[in-house]
Amino acid sequence: MSHSPNKKVLMQVRDLKVHFNIKNSNALPWSKGNTLKAVDGVSLDIYEGETLGVVGESGCGKSTLARALLRLLPITDGNVVWLGQDLTQLDKKQMREKRQELQMIFQDPLASLNPRMTVGEIIGEPLKTFKPSLSKDEVREQVKTIMARVGLLPNVINRYPHEFSGGQCQRIGIARALILKPKLIVCDEPVSALDVSIQAQVVNLLKELQAEMGLSLVFIAHDLSVVKHISDRVLVMYLGNAVELADKRSLYSKPTHPYTRALLSAVPIPDPEQERKKNIQLLVGDLPSPINPPSGCVFRTRCPHANEQCAQTKPVLTDIEPNHMAACGRLEEISLTSHA
């Protein structure tokens, strides 16, 4: 993997695989099920203080990758090394200790909050778990401080989640994730369930908190405009595989992989004249099943540049230029064509 100079690597992910055994409900009990390859050999580094955006179609493995990084799902193969320690080798007790440094913000704000607990109890729960020596008053004081920081009035501390809007519930989720002062927060589509105006508020809040607390973020989203606004680097996933990884400026100005070009060509441009002139690259066919992915390059069944060679060899992320990698066996030929 290419490394960014002068940046500390917090997490190293190498050849990460998350496979699930899927059995047909009508199958015989002793029959072998099919293997669903949700994440199939992803490698990347996460640096201190950066935001890594993760994009791709539904079913490409973004959320599975997010949960696997924090070991919320069983990992089939590969390594996740956090500050020099391989998380895949830790037992439950050791992993629980690491959760102080690794937190998550979930997609559905309301569903991720316990409806029977007050806001104060929800946000303060991590403190009770990891810092039991704190008194009730100390916990309450820390909860009020973090509530104020994420834009929640401290006087709502005794209310319940159903009394809040979606945007406020997500702020509660952010406060809960921040209360232990973690080093890395994985944001699994944290704004997809919110209105556009509220999305902007939550994204700007995350950027402010990141700058203030030196956080590293993994930000997963469908909306490429939101990802561009918040990310330093972007990982593009397709069918459980990483197909392109680059810094934001390079990826959005010079997308290399045909899949990335197709995704970016579908992003609306605010200027009507430019919108009419742009070349939209529509993908042909449906997304293949992760149970039976294509041989070789997984994107070849929908790629306009695919040939017989693409079915033989699975491409890996290769350096194209500094801080820009892509997984495509025909990069040289494709680079000769005009960019979207």
Residue 337: pLDDT over 70? no
Sign of CA dihedral 281, 243, 64, 289: positive
Q: What would the mean pLDDT of 128-153 be, rounded to a whole number?
A: 94
pLDDT of residue 98: 92
Please answer whether residues 248 and 233 qualify as being in contact, where contact means their C-beta atoms are separated by less than 8 angstroms. Answer: yes
Q: Give the three-state DSSP class for 165.
A: coil
pLDDT of residue 123: 96
Can you count the helices (H) and strands (E) in the chain? 11, 12
pLDDT of residue 19: 95
Residue 336: pLDDT over 90? no
Q: Give the three-state DSSP class for 253.
A: helix
Tokens, residue 321: 């230029």
Residue with tokens 């201190």: 48
pLDDT of residue 49: 94
Domains of the chain: 9-21+34-101+183-335 (3.40.50.300), 116-181 (no CATH)
How does pLDDT run across 200-258, given as a tens digit for each residue?
A: 899 999 999 999 999 999 999 988 889 999 999 999 999 999 999 999 999 999 999 99
Distances (CA, A) of 185 to 108, 190, 320: 16, 11, 29
Q: Alpha-carbon distance 172 to 112, whole Å?
A: 10
Q: What would the mean pLDDT of 75-103 be, rounded to a whole number?
A: 94
Q: Give the three-state DSSP class for 235.
A: strand
Q: What would the mean pLDDT of 125-141 be, rounded to a whole number?
A: 94
Lowest-confidence segment of 148-162, 177-191, 263-277, 309-323 by average pLDDT: 263-277
Angle between helix 166-178 and helix 136-149 axes, rounded to 10 deg = 130
Length of the chain: 340
Q: Where are the beta strands (DSSP E) in the chain?
A: 9-22, 34-47, 51-55, 77-82, 85-86, 102-105, 184-188, 216-220, 233-238, 241-247, 318-321, 324-326
Residue 339: pLDDT over 50? no
DSSP string across 67-129: HHHTTSS---EEEEEETTEEGGG--HHHHHHHTTTEEEE-SSTTTTS-TTS-HHHHHHHHHHH
How does pLDDT run across 247-294, given as a tens digit for each residue?
A: 999 999 999 999 999 998 877 777 677 667 667 777 887 888 889 899
Q: Which residues contact 335 (CB under 8 A, 6 or more apart)?
A: 256
Portion of the chain with pLDDT greater than 70, in percent: 92
- 119 — pLDDT class (breaks 50, 70, 90): very high
Q: What would the mean pLDDT of 117-133 be, rounded to a whole number?
A: 95
Tell me the pTM.
Answer: 0.89
How does pLDDT run across 72-83, given as a tens digit for each residue?
A: 999 999 999 999
Does 107 or 2 have the greater pLDDT score?
107
